[in-house]
A and B are shown apart, each in its own frame.
Chain A
Amino acid sequence: MRVAVLGMGSVGRGVVSVIAEKGLGLTVTGLADSKSGLIEPEGIDLAAALEQKKTTGCCGDQAISAMEIVERGEYDVLVEVTPTDIKSGEPGLTAIRMALSMGKHVVTSNKGPLALRFRELMDLAGEHGVQLRYEATVCGAIPIIQTLQHGLAGNTVQAVYGIMNGTCNYILTRMADEGLTYEQALDEAREMGYAEADPTFDVKGIDTALKLVILANTIWKNGATLADVDCTGIDLLTVEALSLAGRKNSTIRLIGEVVPEKGLLRVSPRILPKKHPLVVRDNLNAVTVVTDLAGAVTEVGKGAGSVETASAVIGDLLFIRDCHVEGH
């Protein structure tokens, strides 16, 4: 199966490395970063492209743009792993629209386009008889979308709640364990590479809120958007608050919840007993799906990281290969 990859950040490099190492019957025929691109219908030399990216900052020819690859490239599936922009969804949104309109399957890790235009993009995929898959947008390596769409098919989902941001979880773990202040824990998370220079997106709960919107749309196709989420982050928590929770043998975690019965889409710091299945450590994610038939199912795993997120992208690619691309 032929694949075009847009984006050579952490996730893109992870995906390309896995394909280069494992093969998996996938041939990369198009590859682009923000400044350059490569089109090779017979298959790109991925090791060389990765090396070039490392040494020059560009993976290919500066005369070839990402959109050219989408339009002219020879591929079955577009892997769109460019950075998230929550206001416009661009540049991913245009690339995804274009590929779907051309009857190409799309796999993305980009939350912006899905949180902004879920219905439109799904309808577009439906009209052209192709798949739009986005496992990597929610909880990294945890196969939560696959679980909801297929593993728990036939169940009525009553609620989904969980820890969906590893940066916040790392900060809260360190505050509780070591008595660090919020600022100290945040600095440490930056040093470890878990937090961005501007951590607003994570610590204000916006990242978790985007994931909730995507989950809500996956389950109920209800057209929810970011504006529907009642969102409180962790940036106002104190180390004393965590220590007070400790007196009750509990701790505090940033929890995202979707409860359709109550019309609830909420991100907020919550008190949980230390033994609660959702209380995971460091930068792990954990998510519980409550259903009528299966009861509560909890999945725990790494929510971010180059290879871990690549795992979700690769999973989607192979799903499309096995179920939707004839003669792969």
Chain B
Amino acid sequence: MQVSMKIEVKDAPGQLVGALQPISEVGGNIMAVIHEWDPTLRPKTRIVQVVLEITDERLDDLIEILKARGVSILGIGEERLLMKRSVIMIGHIMHTDLSDTVGSIDQTGYAEVVEMHVTMPGINQRSSALLTISATNEENMERAMEGLRSVAREKDLLMVETMEEAA
């Protein structure tokens, strides 16, 4: 998952590197580091926002390590998924394990299904589902779509995508 973490570091050489190092040590991936300059802050301190990708399990380890090194964590939250795109799937959606289809997106860590509407006109008829997917950025959205395309091929579902130019 993608996490946004606000930390306070001393305004001294090597402090920021010291605070970021544990992230790679626990296998996290730093995606953005944003310095926030706030004149009301205590002198000699800086607030830094770090956006990183990390598994759920390793996040707790990271928090422990940072605390042990004297880095104050001011806030932590899941990064908002920035992009949305809708697709329509047509076929035997229920019979081919809908939760597995949705799971193929949710398990990526960088994209998830945030909205779904399913219409089932009859038990033996093909269903239609509108899935809205959120992803952290365009590249990840495309990766998620590619994954979904392969699930659709496997389960013989027709996947109707948005025109890229209009996405």
Contact = CB atoms under 8 A, between A and B. Distances in A.
> Does B bind A?
yes
Interface of A: 161, 232, 236-238, 240-241, 243-245, 247-248, 250, 252, 255, 268-273, 276, 278
Interface of B: 86-88, 90-91, 117, 119, 121, 126-130, 158, 160-163, 165-166
A103 to B, nearest CB: 44
Given A236-B91, A238-B121, A244-B128, 8 more contacts: A236-B126, A240-B121, A245-B130, A250-B86, A270-B161, A271-B87, A271-B88, A278-B163
For the complex of A and B, list the 7 residue pairs with the smallest distance between their C-beta atoms, beginning with the closest.
Answer: A240-B119, A244-B130, A240-B128, A241-B128, A271-B162, A270-B163, A238-B128
B163 A255 contact: yes
Contacts of A252: 88, 160
A271 B164 CA distance: 10
B160 A269 contact: yes
B161 to A, nearest CB: 6
Nearest to A273: B166
A308 B105 CA distance: 47
A238 B126 contact: yes
Contact of A272 (B119, B128, B166): B166
A195 to B, nearest CB: 21
B162 A244 contact: no
Contacts of A240: 119, 121, 127-128
B88 A241 contact: yes
Contacts of B161: 268, 270-271
29 contacts: A161-B165, A232-B158, A236-B90, A237-B160, A238-B90, A240-B127, A241-B88, A241-B90, A241-B160, A243-B119, A244-B119, A244-B129, A244-B130, A245-B130, A245-B160, A248-B86, A248-B130, A250-B162, A252-B88, A269-B158, A270-B162, A271-B88, A271-B160, A271-B161, A271-B163, A271-B166, A272-B162, A272-B166, A276-B163
The prevalent SS among residues of A at the interface is mixed
Determine the main DSSP class of B at the interface with A.
strand
Given A161-B163, A240-B128, A245 B88 contact: yes
B89 to A, nearest CB: 9
Nearest to A259: B164
B163 to A, nearest CB: 5
Contacts of A161: 163, 165
A145 B127 CA distance: 40
Nearest to B117: A244
A272 B88 contact: no
Contacts of B90: 236-238, 241
A271 B86 contact: yes
Contacts of A255: 163
Given A243-B119, A244-B88, A252-B160, A276 B130 contact: no
Nearest to A270: B163
Contacts of A243: 119
Contacts of B121: 238, 240
Q: Which among A161, A232, A269 has the greatest number of chain B C-beta atoms within 10 A?
A: A269
A181 B147 CA distance: 30
A273 B162 CA distance: 9
Given A240-B119, A244-B88, A272 B126 contact: no
Contacts of A236: 90-91, 126, 158
Nearest to B131: A244
